[in-house]
Each structure stands twice: as structure tokens, then as C-alpha cells.
A and B are shown apart, each in its own frame.
Chain A
Amino acid sequence: MITIAGAGLAGLATAYELAKRGASVTIFEKARKPGENSVARFAGGMLAPYCERESAEEDVVRLGNQAADWWSQITSVTFRGTLVVAPPRDQAELTRFARRTSHFMEVDGHAISELEPVLTGRFKRGLYFAEEAHLDPRQALDALVTAVQSLGVEICFGISAPARVDLNCTATAASLPNLRAVRGEMAILHCPEVQLSRVVRLLHPRMPLYLVPRADGLFMIGGTMVESNSGSPPTLRSLTEMMSAAYAIHPVFAEASVVEIGAGLRPAFPDNLPRLIEHDGSLHLNGLYRHGFLLAPALAQQAAQHLLSEACI
């Protein structure tokens, strides 16, 4: 039997890959309910390897470009791409973004209004990444719990893992050398007046924002990256900046209700790339940074292969 500490994204995804290969798996999760302790519940749920390449290494594209297909076996994934826009005075940001990324089409105001009619007249230029997708993180986590349980994985909620497990997936709670926390803040807005079908990213030198549409008129906004391990609620400054950026995408957001605000701590290694490493007698899968949903599938496959090849010996 293979034991895993942590029923967050990394632990669940690896359990899924192991169980599919016929292994028997037990997960220990300190929290009493699925997802309660997982930073993934604050995620945007963007499956956007090409956009991420703007500031991430090429590995993120290589490891992430199959993620949408992987997730669509488990939960509903919206294959509608990503639209990247910038306010008129920050066009230089758009030019720079285009230079650093690939797999996009340049779109003009007319094409933008065809993609997202609600944005008609608001932006003259944008980048459309047609191959990208997004999902609802909480729905996806729940679906993943159901999927692994139906494959026979046992998840022990409310129970701390024993000192030694086969795979440790406890994110920022793991004390690994060079692992740090990067804080991110988010809000969920209810704004049924706005109909958007895909992720919209607003480039801004101070406050880049992503706006992820969810079901029932809900939108998730996020984008802050703070080098801190403070898990306290979002600051007024971050919220102000995020909300005014949302307002810059469409003024109707002024009337949105703020349904929820939250902050999460993303585990990251110095190069912001995830790793499988041996430490203190356990294998660790950690450092998914802001790429949890994007990179968990590929890393889970690697972890499963590693654990099963060890088991053979």
C-alpha cells in the first residue's frame, strides 16, 4: 500500500494516477473536510500554459499543455481560450507580453467584440490564446475526491499523517530546504450583468489581473504575488487595486457584489518550478507555485511512475 500525506491537489492527483495503475493508496489529511486546508481552493483554475510563459520557464508549457485534457476526464473544463487586453496607455505591456509568449492571435476591437460581445468598444487590441482553458477549482477538487474514492483510494480526513509516508504533498506545511510561500489574494464577485465566456487577463504594470468566469454570474479575480508567508486576509490595498482593475475591464463590475475574499500561500522553490524530491526518507511533491491545476497532472504522473518503479524493486 502507498501512503500519501495531504489531500490537496498534488496528493489527490497522484493518488488518482496511482489508483489508475492498480495501486492501493491511503491519503492522510489533517483537515476534516475535502479542500479545507488546500490553497487550491483560492486558485483561478486557469489552464493557461502559453500565457504563463510570459514570466515562467519553458518547462511550464511542456508540463502543462496536456493539463486541460487530463482534467476533462475528471471535471467539466471550459475550452474557450484566454483573452489578454491592456488599457490604452499600457499598450507597451501588451507588446511585451506578445514577445514573450506564443500560440496566440492578435485581435482587434472588432474581433474582441465577436469573442466577448460585452467588451464591445472597450479595447482596440488584444491577444487571443485559443488553445487555453479553465475550470472551477472547488468543483474540480470535489470531483477529484470522488474520482479517487471510486477507484478505491482511502482518504482519512481529520488524521495527521504518520512521520514517514511514501509521498508527502503538504505544500507550505512541509519543511523542505529552499521552499517558500508566495501569497496570493483573490475575491469572488457576483455580477450577472456581465456575460464572459473565457478568462480575461488585464495587463497593467502595477496590478495585472485575471478575471475567471464561473457559473451563475460569479467571477473570480486575482493576480497578486506577494513574497510573504502571512496567511492573513487580503489587504485593502490589494483589494482596491484588484477591484479597480476589474472595473477597468468593464464598469458594470462597479455594481458587482463581493461574495468572498481570500488569501492563500503558494509553495514555491527558487526557480518557481515544481519538484519531486527525496527528503528525510519520504518522496515529496511540492512547489506547484501558481501552477497547481496546470502542473499537478504531469507531476502526479511522474510521482506515480517513480513510486511504482520503487515498489517493484
Chain B
Amino acid sequence: MQLYGTDISSRLLLGTAQYPSPAVLRAAIEASRAEVITLSLRRETVGGSGAGFWEFLKDSDCRILPNTAGCHSVQEAVVTAQMARELFGTDWIKLEVIGNSNTLQPDVFGLVEAARILCADGFKVFPYTTDDLVVGEKLLEAGCGLLMPWGAPIGSGQGLRNPDALRAMRAHFPDIPLIVDAGIGRPSDATRAMELGLDAVLLNTAVAKAGDPALMAQAMVQAIEAGWNGYIADPMDPRDMAVPSTPTLGMAELI
């Protein structure tokens, strides 16, 4: 899979928040075999210097995708993205502009506006969006090279609330990388997303809040591989009637 011209072989992108400890986080990253990890940036982080947690993540071999989690306005998201570029030396940014603090729904109007500003400024924007096709088109017009539709609200673990919309997105944007971002709760949710033909899954809470995060990370990556392989293997279509799975011709005649 290519994201902004970079070859990424792991289809699981992992968030780094809410783990019981950095040691558990590291074990989960290793078990997930993720190549891209997301990282949220807060002002407190920048206020301090060389905070251990960020040093710790910089030490991992993963590519860091900073995010603008918790930003509620275009300006806030743009400033956070600029700080992240300085701090982590990357032009990749996961863009979140939150419209409602209870549902953490993206504010799609603010999102498109912020994406336009950041793309013009040379950022490679990973927009956290809804499954709305028109918003997707506007984000691509703004300069985004991929889309990250939600499966369900962030941290809710509800799985794919609207698989039909995701299938429609796949059909509508056949050549654009689509990453399900948010809402995955169980490995089967991730499999389902991949079976719909989406390119990758980004998740955090499902692993971080599991009783054994490293084991859940491993389960997730296996589920994602299974779903993807199932998709490219071109699965059979369901039928109403049975079809015998053993040959019926040339049966032995029992006289």
C-alpha cells in the first residue's frame, strides 16, 4: 500500500494513547507489527522539553503520524499541525477537527477548510472524516491524497455502523487509499472493514483498553490480514440454494 508515495506494508496503523504504561504500549506496537503510529500533540507537550514519552516513541522504528486530536477549530488544528511538523520533523498529519465533544464527530466544514490550508502549506494530510461521499470529494479537491472515514464514533468500539456507506466509498473512490479510522472494537470489525476493500485500519482504544493490549494488537493484525486476503482472493457470492461441495457426476453405482 502506498500512502503519499511511501510504501507501507502493514495495514494496521496504531494509536499510542491510553495505554496502561509505555512498556505495555511498546509491547503492543511490536505485536501489531505496525509501521505507522499516531501521536497526539497537546500544548503541555510542547511547553515541556524532551519529555520522555515522545523520546521513547521516536526510538521505535515506526513512522510517526502526529494528529490534531482534540482540536475544535480550524485555527487550532492548523497551529497544532505546524507545531507537530516542527517537533517530529514530518509533513504527515492526521487532521481531526472535532465538531461535538460528546460524539467526537468531525466538523466536516472545518475539516475541509483546514485541509485546504494545510495541503497548500505542503502537508500530507490524513483527514479523519465521516463516510459522506461529497465531503470525501471536497477533501480530495482540497489536496488530500487519501481519506480516513470513521467506522463509528471515536473510542466507542461499536464496529462499522454503516458498512453500506463504506462500500459505496470504495466504489466511488476506487484508486484513493481508504483507511477506516475510529470505532473498531473487536478483531471481527477490522476483518469486516478489510473485506469491504478498504486499504487499512487505524485503531487505538480497542488495543489500549483491552485487558492484554499486546495480545489484542496481535489479534487485530491477524484479523486485518485475514480480511484483506479474503478481499483480494475474490470471495464467492452467497446463494440461496445449496451447491454440493463434492462431485455428483461419476458416482459409484451401488446395485
Contact = CB atoms under 8 A, between A and B. Distances in A.
If over half of A's interface residues share one DSSP class (helix, strand or loop), that class is named, otherwise mixed; here it is loop
Contacts, number: 69
Contacts of A232: 44, 47
If over half of B's interface residues share one DSSP class (helix, strand or loop), that class is named, otherwise mixed; here it is helix
Nearest to A234: B44
B211 A100 contact: yes
A309 interface: no
A235 B48 contact: no
Interface residues of A, number: 27
A181 B44 contact: no
B20 A272 contact: yes
Contact of A228 (B47, B70, B155, B209): B47
A228 B44 contact: yes
A271 B155 contact: no
B52 A272 contact: no
Interface string A217-237: 000000000111111100101
Given A55-B20, A227-B54, A272-B20, A181 B48 contact: yes
A230 B45 contact: yes
Contact of A271 (B21, B43, B48, B51): B21
Interface string A232-270: 100101000000000000000000000000000000101
A2 to B, nearest CB: 29
B42 interface: yes
B211 A227 contact: no
Given A180-B56, A205-B155, A230 B47 contact: yes
A230 B48 contact: yes
A179 B52 contact: yes
Nearest to A232: B47
Interface string A172-203: 00000011111100000000000000000000
Contacts of A229: 48-52
A56 interface: yes
Nearest to A265: B48
A230 B44 contact: yes
Contacts of B42: 226, 228
B91 to A, nearest CB: 23
The 6 closest A-B pairs by CB, nearest first: A180-B52, A230-B47, A230-B48, A227-B53, A229-B48, A271-B23
8 contacts: A57-B21, A181-B52, A205-B155, A227-B45, A227-B54, A229-B52, A230-B48, A270-B21
Interface of B: 20-24, 26, 42-45, 47-56, 70, 155, 209, 211
Interface of A: 55-57, 96, 99-100, 178-183, 205, 226-232, 235, 237, 268, 270-273
Given A228-B42, A230-B45, A271-B22, 14 more contacts: A99-B211, A178-B52, A179-B52, A181-B51, A181-B52, A227-B51, A228-B47, A228-B51, A229-B49, A229-B50, A270-B21, A270-B56, A271-B21, A272-B22
